[in-house]
Amino acid sequence: MDGTVYKGSEVIKGAPEFVERLKRKGIPFVFLTNNSASGRKHYLNKLNGMGFNVTIDNILTSATATFRYINKHHKNASVYPVGTHKFVEEAKETGLCIVDDDPDTVLLAFDTSITYEKINKAYNFIKDGAEFIATHPDDLCPTEDGYDIDIGPFIRLFESMTGVNATVIGKPNELMIEMAAENMNVPKGGMVMIGDRLYTDIKMAADNNIRSILVFSGETNEEDLKNSDIRPTMTAGSVDELFI
C-alpha cells in the first residue's frame, strides 16, 4: 500500500479509481503491506477514509501473516514482542501468548515506540536461545514527506550482535503470496503483483514466477531499476496509468 496507493496520509492520484475498475471487472484483489505498526482495522479505516471502498478481507499485513505463521508452526510458544501497542493487542487477539520475560520467541515488528529497554531485552532473549522472528525486512517506510527508518536496520543489529539469523515473514517471503492467493481464491500463477519496491514487491513476484508491475510512485525510481538485477514484467508511473 505505502508508495503504491498512498504515501503517508496522501492518496496517490487515480488509485481509488483503479480499485473501482478492478471491482467493476470482477477482478479479485488484496492489499499487501509490510507495515506492521498497525492492524488490519487501522488500514481498513485509513483506506475507506481515503475513498477506497474495500473490506477487511481485501487487506493482508505482514503482521497478520506472522501471527498465522507462529500459531501454525510454533503453537503455544511464549512471545516477547517488540512492537507498538496496537501490534501487541492484535497479537493477543490472534491467540499468541505474550510475555515480558523468558520467551521462546522474540517477535520484531515496525515499532515506532521502540526504546533502549526493548532493544536490550530482545537482544538478551535472543542471545540466550529465543527464536528470532521479524514481520518484514523493509529498511524504510514511506511517508508523505519522505521516509522513516523501518525494521531492516534493527534486524541487522540483532543478527550481528547475537549471531542468530531472523526468520522474516513479510514480502518477499513466499508466505505472503500464498496467503494472498488463498484470500482471493485464485492460483498463484494467475496473480499480478503491483508495487513500488524492487527488493520486496518485485522480488517476491520474481521468486514465485508471477507477473509484476513496478510503479514509480514510491521508493523506486528509474535509475534504481537500471542498477538492479531484479526485473519487473512491466513498469508504470503509477496505478493511474493502468487501465483494466
Query: What is the full per-residue pLDDT of the chain (244 aa) written as tens digits?
Result: 989 999 888 999 999 999 999 999 999 999 998 888 888 899 999 999 999 999 999 999 999 999 999 998 998 999 999 999 999 999 999 999 999 999 999 999 999 999 999 999 999 999 999 999 999 998 988 777 788 899 999 999 999 999 999 999 999 988 889 889 998 999 999 999 999 999 989 999 999 999 999 999 998 999 999 999 999 999 999 999 998 6
Residue 13 cell numbers, joined: 492520484
SS3 call for 166: coil
Q: Beta partners for 132?
A: 106
Which residue intervals of 74-151 are DSSP H helices? Answer: 85-93, 116-127
Question: How many Å separate Cα 101 from the centre of its chain?
Answer: 27
Contact between 231 and 3 under an 8 Å Cβ cutoff? The reply is no
Domains belonging to the chain, first-starting first, are 6-62+171-241 (3.40.50.1000), 75-168 (3.40.50.1000)
